[in-house]
Amino acid sequence: MTGNDTGRWWRGAVLYQIYPRSFMDANGDGVGDLKGVAAKLDHVKSLGVDGVWLSPFFKSPMRDFGYDVSDYREIDPLFGTLDDFKALLKAAHARKLKVIIDQVWSHTSSDHVWFQESRQDRTNPKADWYVWADPKPDGAPPNNWQAWFGGPTWTWEPRRRQYFLHNFLSTQPQLNYHNPDVPAAITDVARFWLRLGVDGFRLDVANYYVHDAQLRDNPPSSDPAPALPRNMQVHQFNSNQPETLAFVAKIREVVDGHGDNMTVGELAPGSYALMADYTRGQRRLHTAYAFDFLGAWPGVEKMASILSQWGEGLDDGWPSWAFSNHDVTRVATRWGETIGATPPRAAPLLMALLLTLRGTIFLYQGEELGLPEGDVSFEKLQDPWGIAGWPATKGRDGCRTPMPWKDEVMAGFTKAKEPWLPVDVRQRVLAAEKQEKLTESMLHTTRRLIDLRKTSGALSAGAFKVVEAKDGLLVFDRISEQQTIRCAFNFATLRAEIALESKPEVLWAADAVFAGGRLMMEPHAAAIMRLV
């Protein structure tokens, strides 16, 4: 694939993220699996999305629930077999759904055969496949780098009498991309899955592939209220190294060489500036997302500033946006609490905002139902981050609770006596089957908004221009040659009014009406209008 990316399927597309452990359990062991995903593809198709992103289902000891891969080419038996994946891929493609799969290439599991060989001594064939370093003269770790799950990034290996690097859990050793054998091996992994027919990759922590070869100390961050030691430093030298972009260019070449595919990079924690840098031109990631909208409510002024930063030239890069995923508190709770809206009020407002943004959209399973964050007691926690950080943090289990398909004890998710995470009754009453039967529901609202995006050239591919952003009111236009769509959102707890020069065609609205030349908006209202 050559030339610019204009017109490619993923630009402006809506992709549905599936976390397989929690989506649907087909074999009754309490854990979701690939056959379960295949069984629910009709639901996914009914939303009107363009494809799915599957979180990891590869062989793993599951210390970080699949983000610690012990074999890149094998399916973990918990999820099924390679034949199950091929059947799922075929079923998705038959429904004209694209399939992109998670790839965790910055690190492996400590159970991976590469690491098991590497840790034995300093002279074996895999000795330099991971990042090893001698201690300081006093025995301390090589530098001050701090891991994302707490504590130093270094763990002692007595067999080599060296430390190995891990930016996350100590059981997730960092691959050494300064050794050319490593990017070559990972590129072979990419080819393996592309030849099977996947439509691209979601690249986990794509800015963490390469480390500073000199192992220089990270500078302090001056964070006034750091939640963890990692927040006390700028991750200048253990991420975002210039050599990372050289590897990204190679992956781009391989992915484009296998058809009309895509790469989307997770840039952790990242920002819109990093997103632009990693997607600029035709030799970097096709698109990327960072954590600007996956944290605390930014406010309309900051949100408008972030959304306005993107250039619209052929080489200016292409953003992706998500408000929820498997790592963060569900947005209906996370932002809803801040803006003073309950999840039922927040959900349609935030869905309308997400689906009118310029970029590629990632919709996390359950958002179409307006799910609030699940409640998981300490005794039921599975996430090592949550267990270690309790009660200061509850970890990531609350956004990973089972998908509610039916309003019954196990939510139609499993026939087991107990699922891997508990079913939250507040989510169960929002079950897909129940919402399907209602004339007005969040499920039907989501379908309507996706359809509106797909049938509007302005919403799916048009330019973006902020009209107003203050006092909790965000108004922007999406513009194509044929039409201008004005999108208005009131995040305040007070009513708002917007003057319009002429009567618009209201395409969709929630608690907003046009009267007397003005759009009248209740608190937490939204409206999508064609200007005429």
pLDDT tier at 150 (50, 70, 90 boundaries)?
confident
β-strand partners of 156: 163
According to the model, what pLDDT value does residue 532 have?
Answer: 84
Is 60 exceeded by the pLDDT of residue 55?
A: yes
Answer for the pair 163, 135: CB distance below 8 angstroms, yes or no: yes
Helices (H), 380-441: 384-389, 425-428, 432-436
CB-side exposure of 369: number of CA atoms within 13 Å?
26
Please state the pTM of the whole predicted model: 0.97
According to the model, what pLDDT value does residue 425 have?
Answer: 96
Who's near 531: CB < 8 A, 6+ residues apart?
477, 483, 484, 485, 486, 500, 502, 504
Average pLDDT of 252-281? 95
pLDDT tier at 392 (50, 70, 90 boundaries)?
confident
Q: How many CB atoms lie within 10 A of CB 22?
A: 26
Q: Which structure tokens are listed for 393?
A: 């943090």
According to the model, what pLDDT value does residue 227 have?
Answer: 81
Considering the candidates 25, 84, 199, 204, report the single residue annotated as catalytic. Answer: 204
Considering the candidates 50, 102, 199, 266, report the single residue annotated as catalytic. Answer: 266
Q: Is 505 a catalytic residue?
A: no
Give the relative orientation of helices 242-256 and 181-196 as an angle to the nearest 10 degrees. 30
Q: Which structure tokens are listed for 452?
A: 């509106």
What's the mean per-residue pLDDT of the chain? Answer: 96
According to the model, what pLDDT value does residue 1 have?
Answer: 40
Per-residue DSSP letters for 180-245? THHHHHHHHHHHHHHHHT--EEEETTGGGS---TT-PPPPB---SS-SSGGGGB---SSS--HHHH
According to the model, what pLDDT value does residue 46 have?
Answer: 98
Dump pLDDT digits (tens) for 59-99. 999 999 999 999 999 999 999 999 999 999 999 999 999 99
Is 70 exceeded by the pLDDT of residue 507?
A: yes
Average pLDDT of 421-432? 97
According to the model, what pLDDT value does residue 141 have?
Answer: 98
According to the model, what pLDDT value does residue 3 have?
Answer: 52
d(CA 164, CA 160): 10
According to the model, what pLDDT value does residue 7 have?
Answer: 79
According to the model, what pLDDT value does residue 147 have?
Answer: 96
Is 70 exceeded by the pLDDT of residue 339?
A: yes
Average pLDDT of 383-406? 93
Dump pLDDT digits (tens) for 185-243. 999 999 999 999 999 999 999 999 999 999 999 999 999 988 889 999 999 999 999 99
According to the model, what pLDDT value does residue 4 have?
Answer: 65
Dump pLDDT digits (tens) for 296-328. 999 999 999 999 999 888 889 999 999 999 999
Rg of the chain, C-alpha, whole Å: 23
pLDDT tier at 271 (50, 70, 90 boundaries)?
confident
Buried b / exposed e across 359-397, counting CB within 10 Å, b at 16+? bbbbbbbbbbbbbbbbebeeeebbbbbbeebeeeebbbb
Average pLDDT of 105-119? 98
Q: Is 117 a catalytic residue?
A: no
Answer for the pair 131, 211: CB distance below 8 angstroms, yes or no: yes
| Amino acid identity at 464 | F
According to the model, what pLDDT value does residue 2 have?
Answer: 42
- In this structure, the dihedral spanned by the alpha carbons of residues 447, 439, 410 and 333, taken in order and rounded to 10 degrees, is 60
Who's near 184: CB < 8 A, 6+ residues apart?
none
Domains identified in the chain and CATH numbers:
14-108+180-450 (3.20.20.80), 462-530 (2.60.40.1180)
Provide the percentage of residues in the chain whose pLDDT is more than 90: 93
d(CA 123, CA 127): 6
